[in-house]
Amino acid sequence: MAVQVKEREHQDVETEQLMSGCEAIAEAIRLADVDVMAAYPIRPYDGVMQAAAKLIANGKMDVEYIVADGEHSQFEIVKHACAVGSRVFVGSSGVGWFYAFEAIAVTAGLRLPVVAICGNRALDDPGAFGTEHNDSLAVRDLGWLLPWAETAQEAMDLALMAWRVGEDKRVSLPVAIGLDGAFLTHSQQIVKIPTQAAVNKFLPKFDLGDRLLHPDNPITIAPQVDQDWLMEIRMQNDQAMRKAHDVISEAHAHFKELFGRGGDSPFLDEYMTDDAEYVVFGQGTLALPMKVAIRRLRKEGHKVGLVRLKWFRPFPTQEIVKSLSRFKAVGVIDRDYSFGSPYYGGVLYNEVRSALYSLDKRPTIVGFIAGLGGREIEQPMATDIFEKTKAAAGDIKSGDTCHWIGVRS
Amino acid sequence: MSDVKETSITVEVVYRGIFQKTLAQRICRSIVLAARKRGHTGTAFARYGDSPERNGVPAKQFAVVAINNLELEASMAKYEPAVVDVTIAVDDTLVKGVESWAWYGRQPIWKPIRKDGFLLVTSTNTPDEVLAQTDTALRPYTLVIVPGGASFAGLWVFKDDHTDYRCLGALAKVSPDWVRLEDVKALIKEQTKDDGAVQSAQYGYDGAKLRPVKAGEGTSGHEVLQFEKPGWTTMRPGIIVNARKPGERNPQYKKYGARTLRPVVNFDTCIKCTMCWLDRPDECFEVTPEGHYEVVYQACIGCGICAQVCPVKDCIVMVDELKFEDHEDKWQFWKKDHDGYNKWFETKSGVSANPQVRTPPARQEGSGNANPSANPTSASGGDD
Ligand code: SF4
Ligand code: SF4
């Protein structure tokens, strides 16, 4: 591989390429010099598999690429590789992600900074390839950091952030990047690929310190413990998750300095909110059609805007409180659903409402379920969402409703 | 009797993992059901953190009886009552200390017993012999010897030798306000339709020997093992504990608490065939410079495998654990004082150290069957 590495160094200039979100992730795997990645095909995750395999086949990347016999093994492989000091990558989608669930749970428990993507896909049944966030969100209580990307560029950037933040000793938690299936994983966009030298500046070598599983460092990882050890272990993980907030801010500032991208806030991406009265709140690619609607509605004189969430875990509560308390009404769009939850809403809706509960003056927060299974959010739907949000303003109780958008009767 | 509660009584049964799990369960259930006959209510449960499927490991089950459901609530949703009125140890070697499967160190058998409470021990030994192996009491209690040896069975079988009925009879003697003899008898009659079983309860009642124990009585010879439970700031992150290096044994968790019998070795007759060492379940042997295999008594769980595989007759003999005060390794003793060691071997094992002399099989009861689970004597009456 030495020849190729040299060649790459020789060509170490920032380039621009037309690539899918999956290919952008594969480039990030190359740039991060990942040691071990594990693969098992399921759409849309398999896009990363193919892109990474291509980089390896073309001599552009040197990574131990293990095709597992199923998703559970896939996640166990990288968990163990991580414990012996490898930088790792893994991922899955939909029910494949669920098949790995036990391994996903223990990875966070063990504080092993595995970096994954969850190529968001509706859960079976029925088998539908389109995006829905319930797969990623199922791990929201387990101790994984969960960022969500909007574009292929952001997918690559968040992946580099993921290794940096997850592997930071103050955090040492796994990260799963949410990538909307199809819209992001399989659509090609112009992506800036940073230089290796810049990435090396951003991303230190992975070092587990005295937690490294090695014959010279005899440790036992994950022994059986009695029931009265558990709360202390959970508390440790909680502290790590809390620290992740500041570590993300730090990494974001450094990223901006090196690459000139990333926006003002590491956690929220605000669009036309300066004078906005009604905003929508959501994550992933649904921000794109909503921004189109905002420009259109503004021409008609509506003071509307958008707040896009970039990190669902750790939930940036203070940032969200500060941002959303400025508006008269907020429409939270969930590309997920939580059956039987409070007010029959989505996950984001209930988390945002909970975050704002103790404010003296809070906006009406109304819920929208949209784009499930990858249904496109069309402009009439976007208009409908803004109209309903506006109508809810001033009457806080009118937020106790979640509207299903664009569903056939 | 200021520590006595008027509204409830808590009984714990300390038993040996798997061999006595069904026995302990039957005793605890019967306590509740007998007390129910006079209108009390109750609960029976096992210590959840135990691993009662592991051979010989000390484990606990409990019965709490209360005058009504409200009084019972304080004893429910618990793993282990901190204070008990009565402990029933169904194997007398358990008085040497209880070390659970988890890492809490060896604890005196009387540790949870309230002041002036009762420690019932099934034993063929005298109260003073049992007391001689029990940790020095910090507060007074009454030792009660329930006649009969340790009753050991296996995973799927129960040895119906009436140990449970004898224990219930003895309990009725010390706690008549809670468990009456007539209720115990009525329950057993109902369950077994067997007058012999009912008689066993009466025998336990009549035959129980009470020996008041004052604070300060007992032995101070047992090792004090304490384990500090870590807090979230002192625990290593990532659910990591220091591992043992090769040859190093766990300083906190000694396995001898699982032992009812211990192997003693005749180094004179050992042919150094390595069988005991090959088949051992754990790091329980050290190889001596001369190629003998020395039992490490801190680590030996008393499984009896070494004695079973040793090809030389009476070279390894399994002996009642209650006959020993210490956990010192013995090879040095043999090296320094050959005749003294052999005398010790003969006294403890009851067999001759001289291979020429063939002593008749006069071992004490139980020691012939090194691994109790390997040969349960009765398969009757297994369900409860
Ligand atoms: S009885 Fe023998 S084989 Fe079993 S643990 Fe003890 S020394 Fe080892
Ligand atoms: S099995 Fe018996 S004869 Fe063989 S080495 Fe062990 S003690 Fe000696």
- Rounded Cα distance, B57 and B285, in Å: 20
Q: How confident is the model at residue B103 (pLDDT cuts 50, 70, 90)?
A: low
pLDDT for residue A95: 97
Q: How confident is the model at residue B383 (pLDDT cuts 50, 70, 90)?
A: very low
pLDDT for residue B363: 46
The answer to whether residue B228 sits within a structural domain is no
Question: Are the CB atoms for A139 and A176 separated by under 8 Å?
Answer: yes
**Pair (A233, A346) in one structural domain:** no
Cβ separation B239–A233 shorter than 8 A: yes
- Rounded Cα distance, A273 and A265, in Å: 14
Distances (CA, A) of A199 to A12, A13, A149, B292: 11, 12, 19, 61
Could you say which of A172, A218, A233 has the minimum Cβ distance to residue B244?
A: A218
Convert the pLDDT of each residue in B298-339 to its tens digit.
999 999 999 999 999 999 999 999 999 999 999 999 999 999
pLDDT for residue A55: 98
Residue B377 pLDDT more than 50? Answer: no
pLDDT for residue A8: 52
Q: In terms of residue numbers, what domain contains A64?
A: 15-259
**Domain boundary pick from B179, B197, B213:** B213
Q: In terms of residue numbers, what domain contains B341?
A: 255-374
Residues of chain A with pLDDT under 70: 1-10
**Domain boundary pick from A212, A233, A259:** A259
**Pair (A317, A281) in one structural domain:** yes
**Pair (B183, B324) in one structural domain:** no
The answer to whether residue A156 sits within a structural domain is yes
The H-assigned helical ranges of A268-344 are: 287-299, 317-324
Residue of chain A nearest B50, judged by CA positions: A226
pLDDT for residue B358: 55
- Rounded Cα distance, B135 and A322, in Å: 63
Sequence length of chain B is 384
pLDDT for residue A10: 57
Token pair recorded at residue A40: 């098992």
pLDDT for residue A14: 94
For residue A111, the chain B residues in CB contact (below 8 A) are: 237-239
**Pair (A88, A186) in one structural domain:** yes
Q: What is the number of domains present in chain B? A: 2
- Rounded Cα distance, B131 and B144, in Å: 10
Those residues whose C-beta lies under 8 Å from the C-beta of residue A122, and which sit 6 or more positions away, are: A94, A128, A129, A130, A131, A132, A134, A372, A373, A374
Taking an 8 Å Cβ-Cβ cutoff, which residues of chain B contact chain A? 48-49, 79, 102-103, 229-232, 235-245
- Rounded Cα distance, B189 and A204, in Å: 76
Cβ separation B241–A227 shorter than 8 A: no
**Pair (A248, A181) in one structural domain:** yes
**Pair (A141, A230) in one structural domain:** yes
**Domain boundary pick from B180, B213, B246:** B213
The answer to whether residue B232 sits within a structural domain is no
**Pair (B157, B17) in one structural domain:** yes
DSSP string covering B329-354, please?
--HHHHHH-HHHHHHHHHHHHSS-SS
What CATH number is attached to the domain comprising A134?
Answer: 3.40.50.970
Least confident piece of the model among A321-335, B5-19, B242-256, B281-295 = B242-256
Cβ separation B232–A233 shorter than 8 A: yes
**Strand ranges, E, within chain B:** 8-16, 41-46, 58-66, 84-89, 113-123, 141-147, 209-213, 240-242, 261-265, 285-287, 293-295, 316-320
The answer to whether residue B221 sits within a structural domain is no
The answer to whether residue B1 sits within a structural domain is no
Percentages (nearest 5) of helix, strand, coil residues in chain B:
25, 20, 55
pLDDT for residue B379: 35
**Pair (B278, B164) in one structural domain:** no
Convert the pLDDT of each residue in B64-96 to its tens digit.
999 999 999 988 988 889 999 999 999 999 999
pLDDT for residue B29: 98
Q: Higher pLDDT residue, A112 or B361?
A: A112
Averaged pLDDT, B23-46: 97
Averaged pLDDT, B273-278: 96
**Domain boundary pick from A230, A259, A288:** A259
pLDDT for residue B306: 98
For residue A211, the chain B residues in CB contact (below 8 A) are: 236-238, 240
Taking an 8 Å Cβ-Cβ cutoff, which residues of chain A contact chain B? 109-112, 172, 211, 218-223, 225-229, 231-233, 235-236, 239-240
Residue B235 pLDDT more than 80? Answer: yes
- Cα within 13 Å of Cα(A164), Cβ side: 24
Averaged pLDDT, B105-115: 93
- Rounded Cα distance, B232 and A298, in Å: 52
Ligand 1 binding pocket includes B28 (Cβ within 6 Å) = no
Q: What is the number of domains present in chain A? A: 2
| Atom 2 of ligand 2: nearest residue by CA position | B310
pLDDT for residue A102: 97
What's phi and psi for B14, nearest 5 deg?
-100, 125
What CATH number is attached to the domain comprising A300?
Answer: 3.40.50.920
pTM, rounded to two decimals: 0.89
Residue B365 pLDDT more than 90? Answer: no
**Pair (B260, B196) in one structural domain:** no
**Domain boundary pick from A259, A291, A314:** A259
Q: Is B71 left (phi over 0), alpha (psi -120 to 50) or beta?
A: alpha
